[in-house]
Amino acid sequence: MEDEEQRVSEIAAKLEARIRDGSAQVGILGLGYVGLPLSVEFAAAGLPVVGFDLSSSKVEAVNRGESYIKDVPGERLAPLTRSGRLRATTDFEALGACDAVVICVPTPLSKTKDPDLSMVVEASKAIAARLRPGQLVVLESTTYPGTTEELILPILTEGGLRVGQDFFLAFSPERVDPGNGSFNTRNTPKVIGGFTAACSRMARALYGRAIDTLVPVSSPRAAEMVKLLENTFRSVNIGLVNEVALMCERLGIDVWEVIDAASSKPFGFMPFYPGPGLGGHCIPIDPFYLSWKLKTLNYRARFIELAGEVNSAMPEHVCSRIADALNDRCKSVKGSRILVLGVTYKKDIDDVRESPALDVLRILERRGARVGYNDPYVPHLELNETRLASQDLLPAVREADAVVIVADHSSYPYREIVEAAQVVVDTRNATRGIASDKIVKI
């Protein structure tokens, strides 16, 4: 028994020493909005990094030093690839040479809002096929509490290696906020939950090389719940304020004025803002992971489901406001030219994942409108198997029967837009401070 404990401590000590002296190779599975920034941070911290992705175009771009992620400047990526500190590959055999492997693959929902963990499973199988003593495996992909223990651990232990002894396993949720100028991968605190004390120690040693602040918790399950609490908090509060916006509309009150005034309270209030619906990979999706998990335990997550119901109805409400605005001008939606400004899920980014603008465009098209869009970050867009191109801003505004602001990009000249438009439906209060009877707000 003593010999076994000594062997385990030697395995952990060797891995920790390699991490600390900068010789430990880190593998990142998935080079998207989470994986690429994380790869850059580890490489910049002095660790050799191999990024893995099924997309040959992403791999080739990384190896050329060309970034396809707005939050990763090419001038930061290129020196790391030129020096050999960071490289990318589609060959998963290279996983065997990695001392630490971090899984950063997507975890979408199915059409029935059930978790789709197929990419996590495939990533785990790829690791398991090459797993050796002394490796650390970390899952960052958002999922339901229990995934690391119930899904990944059995796959990794099929070959007989023991967690916490032969290899180490942890969960550390990604907290990427695309387009945030203040918080990035390095200065956003990192929650870490190891399967054993040794697992937690190895994960802290790894992330301590590249992240300023570490927040250890007792288990992977606790760390998984942390991420879901964060995003459920946002989803529920956005659902609340969206419902308040609907109430204010019926009461003849300006919801934006109400929120501004309430925000003057220095305690007990945090402002959230209404909008055309939720977007991005996290907020519209993550709470349903928790809801799904609780259903398996015969518990209904009522707040989550109600917030989801309110938020998912907002694109339809926006289209109703557009119809009312056109009707007030003796026009119908059918046959009208409607221009959507901003098709990304939030301002000043190029990400259209789950964007409410796509729902607004689809609903309007279904009602017979002639739809178009402008977005300086999205030159082309696929809509109902049709490829749309971003239109020239002010000429398109002048030709439109109605303009809808969905993503309030900072670069838009809102005063000029209002002056050129026939009517503007503003879902983001982007026209704040502009007095015009052309403006309709939600």
Active site members: 282
Question: Which one-letter amino acid corresponds to residue 217?
Answer: V
d(CA 379, CA 373): 10
Q: Distances from the Cα of 197 to the Cαs of 9, 163, 201, in angstroms? A: 12, 11, 6
Q: Is residue 239 classed exposed, middle or buried when 0-12, 13-18 and 19+ CB atoms within 10 A define those classes?
A: buried
Paired sense of beta strands 100-103 and 86-89, if any? unpaired
The tally of CA atoms less than 13 A away on the side-chain side of residue 47 is 30
What's the chain's Rg over C-alpha atoms? 24
Task: Determine contact, residues 156/163, Cβ cutoff 8 Å.
Answer: yes
Residue 429's Cβ-count burial label (10 Å; 0-12, 13-18, 19+) is: buried
Spatial distance between the Cα atoms of 288 and 284, rounded to a whole number of angstroms: 8
Rounded to whole angstroms, the Cα distance separating 196 from 351 reads: 37
Tokens of 128: 């398991």
| Residue positions counted in the chain | 442
